[in-house]
């Protein structure tokens, strides 16, 4: 990584999060001449030192000029909170550059308490009228069109071409969507900008598949909202915040903890627990910060009641909670009425946690693909490693299926990758693991926690605990039986999904060069994927099409056609991947 990128990341993590509307407002106020210089201004500002003084962060532009970001609540929520001392202020480049370099502020935190009061049911949709299904308002339709235009422009340019100006346009569209009552579309748009920034700064948290997924969801929502009605519109619209509902008393047993480190500048830890019935609950501590906070959050006190347990301790112990409040996703609230005390934990091979591993893998995968919890509780035998384009992954035998286990994060401060490499040397070891499903044409998951290879009853959180070579067995166990590893020939949908990823990264130009797709189309057709071949042809045709005016001059490309073709291909590839994933697991 270059020194410029490293300095940009250092400054970004030092700056407070800035609300999307603030960045959009500051960039929109720039003159056309200054807009052309905005990306250079962001890069220049990245080389300057940033100093925090209470709620204010000050960046030294030069010896006599400073930019100040005032964040009394932890984030910058108004354009007036970004001040500059140069002669051109407030219409200077420095304010917009500082906002564009800072992390994007998330919406207001979810409420920590929950009763059947007005706050508890905030965001709940009214009962639908079957005679007159609800449709999007004119304001929501206009916001969806603006979102589609901004997202299509980002797709047209790709990550390299999506500078601060295009990012600000998408943030403006996100703000408009939120004001129109489309919080889910707004949040997805912000996620697109976050992924683009991570790609441009070579952030280790960046995943091209994440960019493809968020861009697909943003364009899909913008496309469907004007035509949706009833329950579909309710789902597309989403809620401003998840309501926390009372759940009485809970007896929870710690499962594992995982670090959180996002490209948007947030970090922390999430501890997963289970009750006596096997239902999963989460205790999270995520706030603005970098890798240091992700590593240190495991030793911070859990934010539930008056407990003094840390996340690391809770993952091995238990919790008795009274007056519990729980969100629909299983996140525990931490309001004033919640009481929690430390309790005994349970081994993974003892009740009540043992039942999580007795559910067949196919049934767990089917649950995850249908929208349930995506955690998998598996018993595996370690086989070795296999090299992939993104690095080595761990092979394990799981009920006669060859499972590929990958690292959850590549940041060097987190031990995911190192632990995976060491576990590969423990070939033949039979362990229970916790992993997160990755939809793919072959069994694939992200390793989150596992049993210790030599210490029975000991667990390893692969993102927090660092294994040593001394932890490995002195002699390898008997080799695990090998199952056949599916080859790309068995799932040629990658011929389409590869073009989808190329377009998201390189923009329309990446697919506009002359070339024939006939061979790929024939190969897809031989495997019963004729629709994929048609989508591949249309994607390339939309990328390459350029008409001319009466004087023979090239006219601008049609971004709407390319966005529609890309969206159709992306959705098809995603659905086929999920179907192939279910088939590979026997779900």
Residue range 218-239, pLDDT digits in tens: 999 999 999 999 899 999 998 8
Residues 458 and 541 placed together within one structural domain of the fold? no
The CATH number of the domain holding residue 252 is 2.40.50
Q: Is the pLDDT of residue 116 over 80?
A: no
> How many angstroms separate the CA atoms of 10 and 247, rounded?
42
Considering the domain architecture, whether residues 579 and 502 belong to the same structural domain is answered as: yes
Residue 242 within any structural domain of the chain: no
452 shares its domain with 532:
no
| Residue 124 maps to a domain | no
Position with higher pLDDT, 530 vs 46 = 530
Rg (CA), the chain: 25
Q: Tell me the percentage of the chain whose pLDDT exceeds 90.
A: 55
The alpha carbon dihedral of 165, 170, 174, 177 has a sign of positive
Q: Does one domain contain both 339 and 370?
A: no
Contact 273, 321 (CB under 8 A): no
Q: E strands along 455-558, which residues? A: 459-461
Comparing 69-83, 109-123, 389-403, the range with the smallest average pLDDT is: 109-123
- The answer to whether residues 80 and 172 belong to one domain is no
Question: Does residue 196 lie in a domain region?
Answer: yes
More confident residue, 106 or 505: 505
Mean pLDDT for all residues in the chain: 86
Q: Are residues 300 and 389 in the same domain?
A: no
Q: Structure tokens of 247? A: 């759940």
Cis-peptide, bond into residue 479, ω within 30° of zero? no
Task: Name residue 250's beta-bridge partners.
Answer: 321
Q: What contacts 24+ positions apart, CB below 8 Å, involve 195-202?
A: 195/263, 196/154, 196/159, 196/162, 196/167, 197/167, 197/263, 197/264, 198/263, 199/159, 199/505, 200/159, 200/160, 200/162, 201/5, 201/8, 201/9, 201/12, 202/1, 202/5
Helix H or strand E encompassing 575: helix 559-585
Burial class (CB in 10 A: 0-12, 13-18, 19+), 579: middle
Identify whether 454 is part of a domain. Answer: yes
Taking 80 as the threshold, does the pLDDT of residue 514 lie above it? no
**Average pLDDT rounded to a whole number, residues 39-62:** 87
Distance between CA atoms of residues 531 and 537, nearest Å: 10
Indicate if 309 and 400 belong to the same structural domain: no
Task: Please tell me whether residues 387 and 330 are part of one structural domain.
Answer: no
380 lies in the same domain as 465: yes
Q: What are the tokens at 291?
A: 């890798």
Report how many domains make up the chain. Answer: 5
Among 21-25, 334-338, 376-380, which stretch is predicted with the lowest mean pLDDT? 334-338
17, containing H or E segment: none
Q: Is residue 60 part of a domain?
A: yes
* Residue 476 confidence (pLDDT): 55
**Do the beta carbons of residue 332 and residue 321 sit within 8 Å?**
yes
Find which of 50-54, 129-133, 364-368, 470-474 is predicted with most confidence, using mean pLDDT: 364-368
Q: Quick check: is 179 in a domain?
A: yes
pLDDT of residue 1: 39
Q: Which residue has the higher pLDDT, 288 or 229?
A: 229
Contact 335, 324 (CB under 8 A): no
pLDDT digits (tens, 9 = 90+) for 400-456: 899 999 999 888 889 999 999 999 999 989 999 999 999 888 899 999 999 999 999
Tokens coding 5: 């990128």
For residue range 159-170, list pLDDT tens digits in order. Answer: 999 999 999 999
**Predicted pLDDT at 571:** 96
- CA angle 525–527–529, rounded 5-degree value: 55
Which residues, other chains included, contact 198 with Cβ-Cβ below 8 Å and sequence gap of 6+? 205, 206, 263
| 127: in domain | no
The range of the structural domain enclosing residue 494 comes to 488-585
Q: What share of the chain in percent tops pLDDT 70?
A: 90
At which of 308, 343, 378 does a domain end? Answer: 343
* pLDDT confidence bin for 290, thresholds 50/70/90: confident
Which residue, 471, 498, 522, sits at the end of a domain? 471
Q: Which of 6, 23, 17, 56 has the alpha carbon at shortest distance from 286?
A: 17
Which of 170, 202, 237 delimits the end of a domain? 237
Structure tokens at 458: 């000991």
Q: Is 18 helix (H, G, I), strand (E, B) or coil?
A: strand
Judgement on whether residues 312 and 264 belong to the same structural domain of the protein: yes
- For the cut 80, the answer to whether the pLDDT of residue 242 exceeds it is no
Considering the domain architecture, whether residues 79 and 161 belong to the same structural domain is answered as no
> In the prediction, which pLDDT does 159 show?
94
Among candidate residues 165, 186, 168, 167, the one with its CA nearest the CA of residue 177: 186
The whole-number pLDDT of residue 532 equals 93
Question: Is 477 within the bounds of a domain?
Answer: no
Query: Which phi and psi angles does 190 have, rounded to 5°?
Result: -65, -40
């Amino acid at each position: 990584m270059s020194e410029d990128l490293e300095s940009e990341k250092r400054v970004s993590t030092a700056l407070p999060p800035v609300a999307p509307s603030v960045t959009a407002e500051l960039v929109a106020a720039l003159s056309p001449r200054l807009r052309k210089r905005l990306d250079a201004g962001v890069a220049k500002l990245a080389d300057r030192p940033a100093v925090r003084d209470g709620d204010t962060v000050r960046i030294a532009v030069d010896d006599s000029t400073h930019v100040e970001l005032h964040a009394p609540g932890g984030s910058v929520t108004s354009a007036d909170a970004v001040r500059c001392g140069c002669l051109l202020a407030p219409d200077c480049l420095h304010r917009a550059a500082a906002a564009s370099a800072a992390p994007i502020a998330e919406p207001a935190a979810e409420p920590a308490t929950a009763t059947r009061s007005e706050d508890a049911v905030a965001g709940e949709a009214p009962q639908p009228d079957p005679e007159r299904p609800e449709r999007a308002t004119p304001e929501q339709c206009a916001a969806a069109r603006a979102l589609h235009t901004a997202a299509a422009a980002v797709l047209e340019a790709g990550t390299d071409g999506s500078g601060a100006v295009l990012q600000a346009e998408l943030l403006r569209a996100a703000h408009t969507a939120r004001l129109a009552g489309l919080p889910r579309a707004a949040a997805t748009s912000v996620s697109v900008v976050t992924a683009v920034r991570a790609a441009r700064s070579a952030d280790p948290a960046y995943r091209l598949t994440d960019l493809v997924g968020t861009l697909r969801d943003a364009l899909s929502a913008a496309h469907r909202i004007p035509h949706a009605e009833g329950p579909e519109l309710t789902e597309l619209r989403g809620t401003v915040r998840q309501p926390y509902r009372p759940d009485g008393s809970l007896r929870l047993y710690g499962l594992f903890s995982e670090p959180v480190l996002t490209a948007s500048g947030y970090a922390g830890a999430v501890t997963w627990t289970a009750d006596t019935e096997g239902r999963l609950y989460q205790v999270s501590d995520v706030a603005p910060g970098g890798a240091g906070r992700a590593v240190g959050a495991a030793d911070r006190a859990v934010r539930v009641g008056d407990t003094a347990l840390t996340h690391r301790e809770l993952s091995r112990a238990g919790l008795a909670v009274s007056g519990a409040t729980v969100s629909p996703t299983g996140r525990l609230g931490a309001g004033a009425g919640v009481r929690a005390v430390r309790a005994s934990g349970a081994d993974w091979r003892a009740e009540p946690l043992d039942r999580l591993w007795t559910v067949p893998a196919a049934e767990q995968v089917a649950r995850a693909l249908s929208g349930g919890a995506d955690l998998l509780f598996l018993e595996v035998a370690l086989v070795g490693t296999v090299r992939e384009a993104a690095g080595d992954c761990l092979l394990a035998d799981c009920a006669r299926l060859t499972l590929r286990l990958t690292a959850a994060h590549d940041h060097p401060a987190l031990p995911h990758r190192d632990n995976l490499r060491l576990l590969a040397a423990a070939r033949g070891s039979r362990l229970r693991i916790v992993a997160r499903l990755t939809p793919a044409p072959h069994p694939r998951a992200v390793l989150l926690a596992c049993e210790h290879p030599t210490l029975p009853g000991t667990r390893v959180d692969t993102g927090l605990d660092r294994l040593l070579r001394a932890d490995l067995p002195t002699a390898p166990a008997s080799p695990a039986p090998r199952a056949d590893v599916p080859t790309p020939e068995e799932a040629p949908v990658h011929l389409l999904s590869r073009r989808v990823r190329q377009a998201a990264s390189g923009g329309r130009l990446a697919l506009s060069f002359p070339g024939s797709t006939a061979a790929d189309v024939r190969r897809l057709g031989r495997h019963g994927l004729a629709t994929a071949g048609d989508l591949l042809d249309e994607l390339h045709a939309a990328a390459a099409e350029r008409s001319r005016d009466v004087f023979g001059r090239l006219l601008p490309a049609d971004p709407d056609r390319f966005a529609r073709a890309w969206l159709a291909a992306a959705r098809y590839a995603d659905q086929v991947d999920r179907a192939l994933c279910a088939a590979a697991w026997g779900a």
